[in-house]
Structure 1
């Protein structure tokens, strides 16, 4: 009897295994017509139903060797179906595109894009990023056209958001935080930003009031997702500024996929348009890959890797700059000797594993390692001649009527840095009682080895100029001999070996419900971070901050599609290494976290104009900052006081109108007002270095009506002048100076031979091998505006005056560009 039971059980299991083996799986990511992922889509098969998750992902098991029909339904999108016959154990990847249902639009509000809408997140189309011209094209080029985002440097990918500086912005790629090099002081040294535009699938940006799940910065979040390819593809882009190539790979069983890109950048075309004539041989190269592996139905792994090498060899020769007024034109000539050799090598790797422990619980483990070795070595001697120019005849610096000052300046640096940053983080997402819980814990270890040796010696008319911040004996040259010591005008020497350990975490609760006939969304969360700094002369103490944050949104039951949002909380920014190092190069391990009480009130209004979709977005914000670490900005280098002796505020108003001004294309117009001031040691409020009062930007796409394959792209930015350009040693409470307004227009013309809209039928010629092919011409700084990033200060011994000579950015530049995709 027992034997019969055993045989029966064995046969039952055997035939069960055979039955299970006769199944297959269908999975994929559901997007809408605008390529945004869609959550909560019902995928049904013969009474069995699964739902797509927050990332639009779905997976369902289907019978093999049998024709089956899947039904995709969503409350605000049109139903669609898929009929397919699969082999046993086959995994079929299907990424459906669901279209909007006009009669239901606005009644229910649950798609992934609408979730971002109530969170105040701006989503940017990757195709737009690649098309829009810019001297430093990429994601950051588009961000600078958004309200509240400012930058006055076309060489740089860095940006300031609502009164914050370059160090106050979070950047994530595939949920992994990325870093930028430490020592870069000039935008033209940057070369490439971390993000490779060729690999991007989704770009989300928040300018403030973001949720607790995002990290500890004060200003903004840029959240980028690289695509997960479903078929082979390749792309190539080439121009006078460099080239890039990428390839999409997918294994036969669809379990492996990878997207890899290589980039090369050369800024010589831009640098050679400046006043300074140079021998300039930069090489900016990087390779980046994102690999995905589906281990099982519940378990996926991915790897993100990047290797970057930036070599910057700069040998200035001469400079000629004309400035002054019509009544008193002046000119400056500088003759250089020496060179600058900089190199920034960075290595980055991140491993992420995602495990669906239950239908309502997803866990993620993320580990990453970032290593950068940087050196900044230069010896440059500059000898100058300052004079009055002849307004009628002077076309060269040699045509001057009177020389007002001569002098020389020697700058020396031997700066080296080695930084290793390791992270491990556990994140979770759980559906709970018609709401969602998100949580995470993270450990970070930062090891910094830094040597800074830099000095500057200045003389004018043969007399060594002593530093203005050091008490020296009376100097009455040339009438009396000077008996005091000769000192460098500036001198910084330090060696720092520091380790920073950080523990951080967050918990967040999200819920959607009804308030009468209106819909509401709310999110409550809290973050914490504890850290300490070791290795300094004074041992750092353990510090802890707690950051509560919240969001509330309501969509009234109105005929018009309007959403109102209120978000904010208490935000902290614990100091990174740059914020710990003072003007003398010494590390203060007990610098506190800067604190900001942030409130953002906004609304979105979706409407139709000319029977085409448009959106009007308004946001008003206020930040009250305390424990502020005062800083100065020189080009893109930030130098901190490394104390917390100031308080500040930022307030402003942002507007953005975007939509189809031209049918089938997205364009927008942005306007922003900002006022930010700081009070250092109770001396009173003065403008912060980021106080850019007014901002106007336009991004416009068009095509020729009679030749739609000829496209036109316009990128226009106007910013009022930033505080800055004063001598580094000057007291901002005694001397406030603003740079001139920043005005720039970049335009591009493109001839599209083939793209998605023209591939309705197979081409009989050589174009059939391409998915996209376009050739274009770009004109940077179309109106040849003279924009200054800083001032060079030249001394006139005769009149005891100093003259601010503007350091102009690029003039008008032409570029040719090729884009191809297989």
Structure 2
């Protein structure tokens, strides 16, 4: 690692401070109905969160000369809220009494969670994210259980939303857009997601119909806010898959604070459960920090930084995959030589400053820089044998061989990308519950990319010609072959490109009433202008405008219902990956994909078993034009890089969540989706993300007699995706679907210290706020889920066999969690 990179790492580790100093305080002691103090109550105000100590004492800072709302929440007690407006320097003493029978309000107000409800935004609690098991535990693991979100790859953090692909999802951390590596082609190479769960405070997700203030993508928005600590704290986690640690630091004057986290992950436990025996030495590690400084009452600054280094070394040895039928069991045995060495290093930094020009006008200035250097180098020779197997699944005892051959894959792919952003945003509050939001953003993307890939296939000793090149027929050994020997696939390109973008938005928000019903609406529009330049290409300047709207109404009924309609015009100007065609060559004039999107939703809050529940229903339709057709191989997306198609996506989603078990939140999701495309007027066929049915369950429970023993279940069922066909095949001539995806991950935990369990703390436990040890079982029922197919030829029948490439089998993991 270079010297300057080491300096950056040292800088991230040493910096630590930041929380906004405020000019007013609310403090007191929180009690229950039996006059006992209540510890670990979350007290939140405008994103600032504190917890009551072991004696129930809390102290929270909040803005002065402004009406704000305090929310008191506890896992086993009902929410309590209070609206206050304090003078600078004022200290308000408040000793709330929380009970388990009714929510209490100091004044009637709409909380931020209710605002998100009318906007159709799903909020996920960070504590839920940390507890739920998964091969790739984290925010994306939870998203995959939500309706409309699909993934058939537990080794990947990527997800598809309502017919879109992985490149159609926006991800923000502290209002800064974050990126993922370009060259990754399989889930096991991905390593770590950008978002660090240990640092997260809020997670908001929209699966469609999102507002104009969000960016230019077609499918979804994941909006994450990192924590602003108010006191010292530390947390760590360790398991067979790696570990993480995080620390909260606060200065004495409360002007500085920081939360910093470091993570390490090793997927050997998961990869070793696959069919292929390998020497596998991955190193996935990163460090992140979020630093905040309050310059004055009106002016705050923050810095978000990340350094990530993912090294993936892979040396396959042997593989045997059994398939076929009961009457004719078969197997593919492969012996490998060579290795793969991939490396992805990313460096990200973002500065954000917030200035409150007046009580009703706020400005934000955001600048960010993202740098990634990536390499994908491999030379792997695979020599295979296809044949029948005996009753024990052994191919070595069978003399009859259906196919024999070899395959050599080579790649020397290198990419260097530098993406710079500068953005200004504004927020203006008006009378009568209305606001104006606006912003302007400039982005410069510099990409240097070299692609060198080829594949040679040999069957029974004779080289196989590429399928899309007209060559003399190869009838060896009966006739000598006179044509040239060519690689079966060959891609070579060098691209140096610069993309300049200018984007902006304006949005008007209003809350009003129609009769006795409450009404909210959001009207806005976005624009983006961009131009692609390169050494040998010069793209034309393009511009798109995207008007969007949302409308919600809460009737004055006894039933607590909200009805929503949202949509508009959504554009996705091409990112670098979408500009590069199947031959690796950049087409600078690829147009933005366009989608007319409409979403109808209903949100119903109700009581069942005297506990809170929510039922959410959404129906959606997308009409897409100027579609850039693509194919997916594992997680690698390859575009045709033109706009010669149109498409549609339609479906509906249901979600029921609530306290199926008292004090814990669980949910059940169900969705139906149909998405098809029409390329060059050939007719409609299924798109690669045509996931027809989806069912998911996230369930939390505990033993009634031993509440410190917890159970967490993560269950997903998806019908099969189109895919697994040979890469060169014409989808209009060959349509193939993978088998259904079925997976259940379960976790058991013994909680020694927790905010929700009544545990008599032993002396050695007194310094812990949380401490638990758990057992996780991934793929509980040992389902064989395939992500792609390997195609092998039978030299006798001239048939091709699709041998599934299975993902992980059943895996056991032990995990330790602690928080000080």
Name the TM-score, length of structure 1 as normaliser.
0.90
Partner of 1:58: 62
The whole-number CA distance in structure 2 between the counterparts of 1:764 and 1:457 is 65
User: Are the equivalent residues in 1 in contact too, given 2:276–2:316 (CA < 8 A)?
Assistant: yes
Partner of 1:307: 307
What SS class does the counterpart of residue 643 from structure 2 fall into? coil
The whole-number CA distance in structure 2 between the counterparts of 1:336 and 1:559 is 68
Shift of 1:759: 6.9
- Alignment partner of 2:766 out of 765, 768, 792: 768
User: Are the equivalent residues in 2 in contact too, given 1:320–1:332 (CA < 8 A)?
Assistant: yes
Structure 1 pair 291/479, CA: closer, same or farther in 2 (3 Å)?
same
Which whole-Å deviations, capped at 9, do the CAs of 1:548-600 have from their partners, x for residues lacking one?
Answer: 00000000000000000000000000000000000000000000000000000
Partner of 2:511: 512
The whole-number CA distance in structure 1 between the counterparts of 2:465 and 2:516 is 74
Partner of 2:819: 821
Shift of 1:755: 1.1
The whole-number CA distance in structure 1 between the counterparts of 2:461 and 2:27 is 71
Q: Structure 2: which 5+ runs fail to align?
A: 1-20, 31-39, 49-59, 73-77
Shift of 1:538: 3.0
Alignment: residue pair count: 771
Partner of 1:784: 782
Alignment of 1:119-198 (within 5 A): 119-198=119-198
The whole-number CA distance in structure 1 between the counterparts of 2:169 and 2:464 is 39
Alignment of 1:312-351 (within 5 A): 312-351=312-351
1:745 aligns with 2:773: no
Bigger Cα Rg: 1
Structure 1 pair 670/664, CA: closer, same or farther in 2 (3 Å)?
same
Alignment of 1:159-558 (within 5 A): 159-390=159-390, 392=391, 394-434=392-432, 435-535=434-534, 537-558=536-557
Structure 1 pair 794/105, CA: closer, same or farther in 2 (3 Å)?
farther
Structure 1 pair 514/252, CA: closer, same or farther in 2 (3 Å)?
same
The whole-number CA distance in structure 2 between the counterparts of 1:429 and 1:97 is 33
The whole-number CA distance in structure 2 between the counterparts of 1:307 and 1:361 is 34
Partner of 2:56: none
User: Are the equivalent residues in 2 in contact too, given 1:302–1:351 (CA < 8 A)?
Assistant: yes
What SS class does the counterpart of residue 717 from structure 1 fall into? strand
The whole-number CA distance in structure 2 between the counterparts of 1:372 and 1:617 is 40
Shift of 1:498: 0.1
Structure 1 pair 408/580, CA: closer, same or farther in 2 (3 Å)?
same
Shift of 1:107: 11
Root-mean-square deviation over aligned CA pairs: 2.8
What SS class does the counterpart of residue 661 from structure 2 fall into? coil
Name the TM-score, length of structure 2 as normaliser.
0.90
Structure 1 pair 498/80, CA: closer, same or farther in 2 (3 Å)?
closer
Which whole-Å deviations, capped at 9, do the CAs of 1:791-817 have from their partners, x for residues lacking one?
Answer: 000111221111000000000000000
Structure 1 pair 464/665, CA: closer, same or farther in 2 (3 Å)?
same
Partner of 2:14: none
What SS class does the counterpart of residue 529 from structure 1 fall into? strand
Structure 1 pair 91/404, CA: closer, same or farther in 2 (3 Å)?
farther
The whole-number CA distance in structure 1 between the counterparts of 2:436 and 2:412 is 50
Q: Structure 1: which 5+ runs fail to align?
A: 1-22, 42-55, 63-69
Partner of 2:12: none
User: Are the equivalent residues in 1 in contact too, given 2:43–2:70 (CA < 8 A)?
Assistant: no
What SS class does the counterpart of residue 114 from structure 1 fall into? helix
User: Are the equivalent residues in 2 in contact too, given 1:604–1:616 (CA < 8 A)?
Assistant: yes
Structure 1 pair 430/481, CA: closer, same or farther in 2 (3 Å)?
same
User: Are the equivalent residues in 2 in contact too, given 1:674–1:693 (CA < 8 A)?
Assistant: yes
Alignment of 1:558-707 (within 5 A): 558-707=557-706
The whole-number CA distance in structure 2 between the counterparts of 1:73 and 1:244 is 30
The whole-number CA distance in structure 1 between the counterparts of 2:147 and 2:98 is 30
The whole-number CA distance in structure 1 between the counterparts of 2:345 and 2:156 is 18
What SS class does the counterpart of residue 510 from structure 1 fall into? strand
Shift of 1:83: 14
Structure 1 pair 126/92, CA: closer, same or farther in 2 (3 Å)?
farther
What SS class does the counterpart of residue 750 from structure 2 fall into? strand
Structure 1 pair 138/218, CA: closer, same or farther in 2 (3 Å)?
same
Structure 1 pair 274/79, CA: closer, same or farther in 2 (3 Å)?
closer
The whole-number CA distance in structure 1 between the counterparts of 2:153 and 2:569 is 31
Shift of 1:396: 2.5
Which whole-Å deviations, capped at 9, do the CAs of 1:411-430 have from their partners, x for residues lacking one?
Answer: 00000000000000000000
Shift of 1:93: 12
Structure 1 pair 109/671, CA: closer, same or farther in 2 (3 Å)?
farther
The whole-number CA distance in structure 2 between the counterparts of 1:223 and 1:96 is 34
The whole-number CA distance in structure 2 between the counterparts of 1:721 and 1:107 is 51
The whole-number CA distance in structure 2 between the counterparts of 1:99 and 1:315 is 59
The whole-number CA distance in structure 1 between the counterparts of 2:93 and 2:557 is 37
